[in-house]
């Protein structure tokens, strides 16, 4: 599924998953669709945002979450990112507005 561009005024949480550096067993046992379902459930049930798609390249997968408050979105998805095997060695951009707005980066290196 390709990403659809959300309205530029919305805030964003952009998740960069490692597409090649994890143990091959992780890629065999866990799939992107299930991870996206978990992330969507955390934010869409309370209508704080939406998962707007993903982009896949040979080295990484990028998942796009948008809504009015990126910090709130991040706080809701952080528990999933902290334990899901596909999220090991991932990095997340929490952006408080349109591209170019202030942002911070969070890394999820766990074993």
The count of domains in the chain is 1
Assign residue 79 the CATH number of its domain: 3.30.70
Query: Within a 10 A sphere around the Cβ of 35, how many other Cβ atoms?
Result: 21
pLDDT one-digit tens code per residue, 25-45 = 999 999 999 999 999 999 998
Binning pLDDT at 50, 70 and 90, where does residue 111 land? low
Q: Residue 16 domain-assigned?
A: yes
Q: Is the pLDDT of residue 73 over 80?
A: yes
Q: Which domain holds residue 31?
A: 11-108
Q: Residue 5 domain-assigned?
A: no
Regarding pTM above 0.85, the answer is: yes
Q: Is the pLDDT of residue 89 over 50?
A: yes
CA-based nearest residue to 39, from 47, 30, 50: 50
Q: Residue 29 domain-assigned?
A: yes
Q: Is the pLDDT of residue 52 over 80?
A: yes
Q: Residue 71 domain-assigned?
A: yes
Q: Residue 1 domain-assigned?
A: no
């Amino acid at each position: 599924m390709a990403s659809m561009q959300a309205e530029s005024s919305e805030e964003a949480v952009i998740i960069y998953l490692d597409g090649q550096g994890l143990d091959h067993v992780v890629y065999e046992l866990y799939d992107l669709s299930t991870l996206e379902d978990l992330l969507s459930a955390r934010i869409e049930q309370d209508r704080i945002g939406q998962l707007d798609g993903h982009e896949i390249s040979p080295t990484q997968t990028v998942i796009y979450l948008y809504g009015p408050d990126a910090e709130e979105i991040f706080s809701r998805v952080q528990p999933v990112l902290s334990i899901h095997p596909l999220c090991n060695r991932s990095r997340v951009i929490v952006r408080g507005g349109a591209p170019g707005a202030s942002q911070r980066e969070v890394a999820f290196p766990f074993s």
